[in-house]
């Protein structure tokens, strides 16, 4: 027969199991976020307030600089309102080539260039040299975002938290920059609207406590 287990060790194991469960949950949350960083379509998706340079070879009248409206369209000569939101510059080139070529021009050569990236931005705060709001110009990872903010400052720790909103819910996941740089963790891809907070050394314990109390990481399963 096995001897009965004392009460206090049972409680100790329960606390340890709870701690392990939290660590597993946090790790799964981070893995869920990094899963979107695998190679795929990385071209910039145009959105409202972006500014586009559109040129048609040897047709100056159709070459214009336009801003995407709040409804995700641009207004151009001959073809009128044209949907652009959610498309890449190459896709818009093909659309305009087809529309202008159908009735008005013979084999038009259309070029679309994103002049201003205004619709997709991230925020980088905390212990970086240049905190601020930065545009996403295609694929941007966590390390690239920190580099855009001119890197970590002298007070920074290795701990970074990424906040994200999905369907009205706020989620967060913690990453260790040292692990990413050493190749021990995946460099996660960021999305428009993400907020990156780089911790200071003295703040590390506070960040961990915040995640445990608010349990943001559980929301990542919805992403």
The pLDDT score that the predictor gives to residue 215 is 56
The pLDDT score that the predictor gives to residue 207 is 64
Question: Using an 8 Å Cβ cutoff, are 155 and 200 in contact?
Answer: yes
The pLDDT score that the predictor gives to residue 137 is 80
| Owner of token pair 């009460």 | 7
Average pLDDT over residues 143-167: 91
Question: Using an 8 Å Cβ cutoff, are 178 and 218 in contact?
Answer: no
CATH of domain 27-38+120-222: 3.10.560.10
Residue 7 has pLDDT above 50, yes or no: no
Bridge partners, 55 (sequence order): 111
Question: Using an 8 Å Cβ cutoff, are 8 and 161 in contact?
Answer: no
pLDDT digits (tens, 9 = 90+) for 168-220: 888 999 999 999 999 999 999 999 899 999 988 765 556 656 666 665 544 44
- Closest by alpha carbon to 122, among 42, 196, 172? 196
Cite the residue boundaries of each domain of the chain with CATH code 3.10.560.10. Answer: 27-38+120-222
Classify residue 13 by its DSSP letter: H
The pLDDT score that the predictor gives to residue 169 is 87
Question: Using an 8 Å Cβ cutoff, are 163 and 91 in contact?
Answer: no
Percent of the chain past pLDDT 70, that is, above it, reads 71
CA–CA distance, 168 with 163 (Å, rounded to integer): 13
CA–CA distance, 130 with 116 (Å, rounded to integer): 21
User: Which span out of 3-12, 39-48, 79-88 was modeled with the highest average pLDDT?
Assistant: 79-88
Mean of all residue pLDDT scores within the chain: 80
CATH of domain 51-116: 3.30.1950.10
Average pLDDT over residues 105-123: 93
Residue 142 has pLDDT above 80, yes or no: yes
Q: Collect all residues with Cβ–Cβ distance below 8 Å to 76 and sequence separation of at least 6.
A: 54, 62, 64, 66, 82, 96
Q: Collect all residues with Cβ–Cβ distance below 8 Å to 54 and sequence separation of at least 6.
A: 62, 63, 64, 65, 66, 74, 76, 96, 110, 111, 112, 113
Question: Using an 8 Å Cβ cutoff, are 109 and 115 in contact?
Answer: no
Question: Using an 8 Å Cβ cutoff, are 114 and 89 in contact?
Answer: yes
pLDDT digits (tens, 9 = 90+) for 51-101: 999 999 999 999 999 999 999 999 999 999 999 999 999 999 999 999 999
Residue 42 has pLDDT above 70, yes or no: no
- Closest by alpha carbon to 42, among 140, 116, 110? 140
CA–CA distance, 195 with 32 (Å, rounded to integer): 17
CA–CA distance, 18 with 43 (Å, rounded to integer): 42
Residue 32 has pLDDT above 60, yes or no: no
Cite the residue boundaries of each domain of the chain with CATH code 3.30.1950.10. Answer: 51-116
Question: Using an 8 Å Cβ cutoff, are 46 and 71 in contact?
Answer: no
């Amino acid at each position: 027969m096995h001897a009965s287990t004392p009460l206090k060790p049972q409680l100790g194991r329960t606390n340890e199991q709870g701690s392990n469960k939290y660590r597993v949950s946090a790790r799964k949350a981070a893995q869920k976020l990094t899963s979107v960083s695998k190679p795929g379509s990385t071209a910039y998706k145009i959105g409202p307030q972006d500014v586009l340079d559109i040129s048609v070879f040897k047709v100056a009248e159709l070459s214009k600089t336009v801003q995407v409206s709040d409804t995700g369209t641009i207004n151009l000569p001959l073809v009128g309102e044209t949907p652009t939101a959610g498309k890449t510059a190459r896709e818009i080139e093909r659309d305009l080539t087809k529309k202008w070529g159908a009735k008005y021009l013979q084999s038009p050569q259309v070029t679309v260039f994103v002049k201003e990236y205004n619709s997709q931005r991230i925020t980088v705060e905390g212990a970086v040299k240049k905190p601020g709001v930065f545009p996403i110009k295609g694929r941007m990872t966590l390390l690239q975002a920190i580099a855009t903010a001119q890197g970590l400052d002298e007070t920074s720790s290795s701990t970074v938290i990424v906040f994200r909103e999905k369907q009205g819910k706020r989620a967060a996941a913690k990453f260790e920059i040292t692990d990413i740089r050493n190749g021990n963790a995946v460099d996660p891809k960021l999305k428009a609207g993400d907020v990156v907070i780089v911790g200071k050394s003295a703040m590390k314990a506070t960040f961990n406590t915040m995640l445990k109390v608010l349990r943001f990481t559980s929301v990542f399963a919805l992403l």
